[in-house]
Amino acid sequence: MKQGFFTLTENTRIARDVYRMRLAGDTSAVTAPGQFVNIRLDGRFLRRPISVCDKEGDTLTLIYKVVGQGTAQMAEMRPGERLDLLTGLGNGYDLSRAGARPLLAGGGAGVPPLYLLARELSAAGREVTAILGFASAADVFYEKEFSALGVRVLLCTADGSRGRGGFVTDALEEAGDYTYFYTCGPEPMLRALFSASRGSGEFSFEERMGCGFGACMGCTCRTVAGPKRICREGPVLKKEEILWR
């Protein structure tokens, strides 16, 4: 975990209500895909936790969806602005469990953290399949970017306006055999995958947070292994430890 100032180098709309932010600064605390940063915004008391989509050298890529006043404020920011970030928060995905043919399944705003994961797994010679699910064609992003990594992409939209019609779980059969899976997305999708998936995997959760670094107990959930803070022992939980509320 580190606190530092980053310079905004890009803030572009890439889909409906979805923006990509690139930030230059000290990225050394980011050690695993699936971790997040916590961004301080002028006039907002609490920071905004956003998952890390990519990290290359001193540049972090964040993809976020405008869902409220804080993210709307982020969308208005211009290159050159300085942001106060806490970086390297959360546990992130465990790559050592991937096996030869990992499956990644992301839904909407849950797709971004899977990008760095896909890139690292591909670089490690794994045969990666990614199911990317969105509500509609206007919401789709990063299909090409995942493909460019050499990842096999199965694109779905709930309304069938692009790719396969239906939910992420509907593409599981087509994805075929996999050694382990990693997922991030809205809770209904995570629940559906929990039931529909075979074998073990990892789920990234979202919760309203106070601090983002383990101090306030604001984001605690129950697990098989006792209470866990989503910001600290999470956001990634292994399938075996999840207790649905």
Half-sphere exposure of 236 (CA within 13 A, CB side): 23
Query: Which residue carries 């572009």 as its tokens?
Result: 12
CB 116 within 8 A of CB 52: yes
Q: Which is closer to other proteins, CB of 130 or CB of 230?
A: 230
Name the helix (H) or strand (E) containing 111. none
CB of 245 to other proteins, least distance (A): 7
150 neighbors 119 (Cβ within 8 angstroms): no
CB of 46 to other proteins, least distance (A): 5
Say which residues have a Cβ less than 8 Å from residue 202's Cβ, sequence separation at least 6.
Answer: 34, 93, 94, 97, 180, 181, 182, 183, 236, 237, 238, 239
**Residue 78 or residue 245: which is nearer to other proteins going by CB?**
245
In the structure encoding, which two tokens stand for residue 208, read together? Answer: 């309203």
Considering only residues 80 through 99, tell me which ones interact with other proteins, judged by CB under 8 A: 86
Query: Would you count residue 186 as binding other proteins (CB under 8 A)?
Result: no
Question: Per CB under 8 A, which region of 13-21, 54-62, 98-106, 210-218 contacts other proteins?
Answer: 210-218
Q: Which is nearer to other proteins, 47 or 55 (CB)?
A: 47
217 forms part of the interface with other proteins (CB under 8 A):
yes
Q: Which is nearer to other proteins, 173 or 244 (CB)?
A: 244
The Cα–Cα gap between 43 and 67 comes to 17
Footprint on this chain of other proteins (rule: CB under 8 A): 1, 3, 40, 44-47, 86, 207-211, 213-222, 227, 245
